[in-house]
Amino acid sequence: MKNKSYKILFVCLGNICRSPAAEGVMKKISADKELNFEIDSAGLISYHQGEHPDSRMISTAKRRGYPLNHHARKIEAQDFEYYDVIIGMDGDNIRRLNQLCPEKYRNKIHKISEYFIEVKDYDTVPDPYYGDMDDFDNVITLLEDACEGIAQKLSM
């Protein structure tokens, strides 16, 4: 096989802004590079369960070339077994993931900033929910760099 297969789960708090955008960006990069990745996203709270991504995230992602097609869901116990790599967006996400995750799977949990290539001045993808449209645009910029890094690391 050309590339090893990986199952990747992106996680943020609400699963309506950052992680569905990460899912969209990673799916595009994965398709373009013909990588054998299975990609999904989930949230740490169930407040937005079943909802489409935030309309500001949908429009920003669409403008940047990433159609989003996801319904919010809360992370479940079996996700920690099923996925190979579980990627949180900030320190709070990582703390909550570590609390939920059985110890034997904790090595699957990674912070998105581990994968930045060009980005040097962030160690998170900041929550844009209470921000403005520039904050949503910045989410896509940060995710493009991180997802390129993920593609590079996992296809070595």
Q: Which of 40, 79, 127, 145 is catalytic?
A: 127
d(CA 90, CA 110): 10
Please report how close the Cβ of residue 53 comes to ligand 4NP at its closest, in angstroms: 8
Please report how close the Cβ of residue 97 comes to ligand 4NP at its closest, in angstroms: 13
Residue numbers of the site for ligand 4NP (CB under 6 A)?
12-18, 47, 127, 129
24 vs 35 by CB, closer to ligand 4NP: 24
Is 106 designated active site?
A: no
Supply the angle between the helices 133-154 and 55-63 in degrees, to the nearest 10: 60
The SS3 call for residue 68 is: coil
Residue 16 structure tokens: 């309506």
Name residues whose C-beta falls within 8 Å of residue 24's C-beta, 6 or more positions apart in sequence: 61, 66, 67, 68, 69, 70
Is 12 designated active site?
A: yes
82 vs 129 by CB, closer to ligand 4NP: 129
Please report how close the Cβ of residue 14 comes to ligand 4NP at its closest, in angstroms: 3
Instruction: Please identify every residue annotated as catalytic.
Output: 12, 18, 127
